[in-house]
A and B are shown apart, each in its own frame.
Chain A
Amino acid sequence: MTAPAFSASASPVVSLRNVEKSHRTSGGATYVLRRITIDVAPGEFVTIMGPSGAGKSTLLAILGMLDAEFTGEYFLRGHPVHAMKHEQRRALAREHIGFVFQQYHLLDELTVAENLHVPLDYRGIGKSERASRVADILDRFNMVGKKDLYPRQLSGGQQQLVGIARAVIGEPSLILADEPTGNLHSAQAREIMELFARLNAAGTTIVQVTHSDENARFGHRTIHLKDGWME
């Protein structure tokens, strides 16, 4: 497999400087992340690995702006996330970030097509534009025949396919994937990873958290975390 090219010299999509995260406990502060400094270049595919409790998912949550309780600096495409107010962060996340979850997290009450509408709706995109983008992505992901099915009617692999389609439909500059193949058997996992590779080849920046060495090989580089520290 050849890693797709990316421009390490261009200004980074993500830039973390001395990011730290701690919980206050009765015995003082317990650190989850220590002095994390990372740059992710446009078009790069980065893998974060480490044992349980190393802080991988916490790091991903900070990157996805689901967790704002950290110290240090975080720039997304040059925007200082650490200095932003809640609604500004939400607006920035809406514009730039797509999420893929281990448990897929599709909305059970919505059909495949409706699930794909949701992020576009939240981005304030008009109805006809939404419909055309959804039709387009259903086509690209080969899911036109399944558009009216509910998540419970799909296999795990198919659900994750919808999850990824939902993540990319808003054309984010950064996809964050948290153990995207954790609940899939190996053949399905491979298909999903190949899909990520194709998306990356087309220019999407990806950060994934995984336990799997095989998945890690789809990326350009791997960051190892242990006890909150980068190794």
Chain B
Amino acid sequence: MLADLKYAWRTIRRSPGFALAVVLTLALGIGANSAIFSVVHGVLLRPLPYGQPNQLVRIYGRYPEFGRTGTSLPDFQDWRAQSHSFEQMAARYNAAFVLTGEGEPERVIADRVTANFLTTFGVRPLVGRSFLPEEEQVGGDDRVVILDYGYWQRRFAGDERIVGRQIQLSGQPYQVVGIAPKNFRIERDVDLYAPARADTTLPRRAEFMDVYARLKPGVSVQQADADVAAVNRHLAEEYPRTNATIRSEVIGLQDDLVSGVRPALLAFMGAVALVLLIACANVANLLLARAATRDREVAVRVALGAGRGRLMRQLLTESVVLALIGGALGLAMATWAVAAVRSTDVQFIPRQAEIAIDGTIVAFTIVLSVVTGLLFGLAPALRLSRGSLHATLREGARGATGGSLARVRGALVLGEVAVALMLLVGAGLLIRSFDKLTKVDLGFDPSNVLTYSVTFPSAKFRDRDQAGPLYTSLLERARTLPGVQQAALSADLPMDGAGYLSFDIEGRPSRPARPGAAPEDMQPFAVSPDYFATMHIPLKRGRLITAEDRAGATRVAVISEEAVRRFFSDGRDPIGSRITFGNPADSSGWMTIVGVVGNIAQEGVTAKPYAQLYQSIDQSPTRVVHVLLRTDRDPLLLASSVRGTVRSVDPDLLVNDIQTLENRVSQNIARPRLSVLLLGAFSVIALLLAAIGIYGVMAYTVAQRTREIGVRMALGADPHEVKQLVVRQGMRPALVGVVVGLVAAFAATRLIASLLYGVSAVDPVTFVLVPLFLIAVALLATYLPARRATRVPPTVALQTE
């Protein structure tokens, strides 16, 4: 074996160009597989880093016609109290604070969590303690926080003495009682955790909580699902007005976290496996071409007594050594790629931080390299060890080229074309889908709009009537920035998600909720008068919100066309109707509808239109507002001057999250973009490899036929005819490959159907254009060697051999 290795190394060193071509091809193929596998392993396969992770579940509220939703606090409490399947049930919801007194004021992202949150996940604080049950009770001391590990490191330099100290959050003192362990991250990055108060007065349809639970040992997810469903039936009887239509869904936590990316990751894994197959075919072709020059060596070895097994071992050792070198280089490429993925700010995928090149990935790469080496080495090794010895030894160094070899080459070309076609069709579909995504009518114009958030310290926001003048000065100062055409405020920004509120319309009886029907609610927004002009949201009827709609004036609302379609389908005029989100008995909550505007995509580019209602931000002020500036130039040019402008209004105001609206939209489609980029990149590699492969085979075949072509030319053949002959013969396996690839793609693209938007998995345009493109590439790859062959003077060609 050592001798085989030594010999293999020498053979590789003797033809460095050949070895380099093989190693690079394999490095691309194996590296792509290792990189994608590290993602699949980190995201899909590795258990969650919590105690007994298979017992962890996520519990969603669910409207059968609408889909998943969050859970209200009263529903959560009833689930927790009345179900029997869970050891622990915990909940969280988004919150934010402003940290002061520690240098520059800073907006911190927080999760309000139930006291048993960490316990439910089976983790303990790294330092300090968890929350106590009384800390989530109304009236209890809820001014305690647990710091996230990363935030503790970043903001407090990992100083353990912070535990026990007080910090100022939104003007209130909070005591730090613990530090969460490293890598504890539930769905989003937060800076700290604070207790969620068990406020039972919250409405049952305020569904803002995410619920997690730990199953009792031996209880299955299905049993738990049935258990919560039984509680829901009970709640529906008890609270028919609010709970008649709500259902629930219990799902394993790991499944839940990764189900969104599983199809894409599996598609990538399939794609890189195909790329590797093409790489193998190419390398096998290279080895076959070289095998012809090694016939003599093999024949001599056989004459000297080498058995077939021994020969196979020697030849396969060479292939495997090449593959291992390729694998090592591939692993280096994968390491680089994984570091790049981890360092991106955008969270493309859940558990991104857990993606790593570890022992498992190294082992995977080694096994894959060995298998690859055996795979591409097998055909040439089999051929050589079965070669016709006698003929080879008599003919000297000239290799024997039989019909079977041509068949093997043909099969390799066929396979390469088929596989490349599958990948290209997949990439083509994703590109078409992404193109549709970028052309979705969002209902607003995101170009040339800069957005940033401004947080008012709670001390300055005690008196809500002060908000109007502060808002006005914010906008006035912003309008002085060069190039600003319009400026507006909004409590929410598109693509940030939305809240949902149920409502009453004056004079319309509350309709009994139909079981399974979508909830009767709207997305509420609070905006300043210029919001619609800044966003280019068209007015359809009535009027927009104006500066007259200030605090204290009659409350007004503008609703979207979808709201009219859903809730005014009985022909009543929405303009002039009155609507309230609050208690109908409270007269101060009623708003008069004054206008109708177009729908906008609020929750994401692909979100279906939802009923929307806009109030005047002066009449419904918030402590955190988003400023939108429409400019006549690149909006990012203003980014540096924004802070100064805000500070000039009040130095205590906090500016965050400065980015263009276009960027927000584009982040919303970051995942499909990543899919397109990755699958596109794999397809380009596949196409290049396949083109090189076809070219290589054709060049070799034509070189073998130089003498024949010379004879034909000497006999008076037209070069054009000869070219045609060669191209025709070369194209035959490629064309069969196209047909095979089309059939395979037809079956395989269904697997990526869930990644597509607005394009069928059997999109005719893609299925026609891609094969034509591939045929054109194959034609070029066969034509070039054919043309070269006909340019060799017959006298030279005839001397060949």
Binding site for B on A (CB under 8 A): 57-58, 61, 64, 66-67, 86-87, 90-91, 93-94, 99, 101, 103, 105-110, 118-119, 121-123, 166, 170, 178
Contact = CB atoms under 8 A, between A and B. Distances in A.
A166 B7 contact: no
- Measured as residues with beta carbon below 8 angstroms from the partner, the interface class of chain B is 20 to 34
Nearest to A91: B307
B390 A105 contact: no
A119 B304 contact: yes
A90 B397 CA distance: 23
A86 B386 CA distance: 11
Contact of B390 (A66, A109, A122, A166): A66
B297 interface: yes
Nearest to A86: B308
Nearest to A109: B10
Contact of A118 (B11, B301, B389, B394): B301
Q: Pick the 7 closest A-B CB pairs, nearest first.
A: A94-B305, A122-B305, A61-B390, A105-B300, A119-B304, A99-B303, A67-B390
A103 B308 CA distance: 23
Interface in B294-330: 296-297, 299-308, 310
B306 A109 contact: no
A174 to B, nearest CB: 13
Nearest to A90: B307
A119 B305 contact: yes
B296 A105 contact: yes
Contacts, number: 62
Listed residue (B307, B310, B393) with the most chain A CB atoms within 10 angstroms of its CB: B393
B396 interface: yes
B435 to A, nearest CB: 54
B439 interface: no
Contacts of B11: 109
A30 B14 CA distance: 42
Contact of A107 (B301, B302, B393, B397): B301
Contacts of A94: 305
Nearest to B297: A107
Contacts of B307: 87, 90-91, 122
Nearest to B6: A114
B553 interface: no
Interface in B370-427: 389-390, 393-394, 396-397
B796 interface: no
A107 B302 CA distance: 12
Nearest to A93: B305
A66 B310 contact: no
A219 to B, nearest CB: 22
B3 interface: yes
Contacts of B390: 57-58, 61, 66-67
Nearest to B396: A103
Interface string B583-603: 000000000000000000000
A128 to B, nearest CB: 15
Contacts of B301: 107, 118, 122
Of the listed residues B10, B14, B394, the one surrounded by the most CB atoms of chain A closer than 10 A to its CB is B394
Nearest to B393: A101
A122 B296 contact: no
A109 B14 contact: yes
A101 B296 CA distance: 12
18 contacts: A61-B389, A66-B302, A66-B303, A87-B307, A91-B307, A99-B304, A101-B300, A101-B393, A103-B396, A106-B300, A109-B10, A110-B7, A118-B301, A122-B301, A122-B304, A122-B305, A122-B307, A122-B310
Contacts of B10: 109
Interface centre among B7, B302, B390 (most CB of A within 10 A): B390
A107 B305 contact: no
Given A91-B307, A94-B305, 7 more contacts: A86-B308, A87-B307, A93-B305, A101-B393, A105-B296, A109-B10, A122-B304
Interface string B278-304: 000000000000000000110111111
A31 B304 CA distance: 28
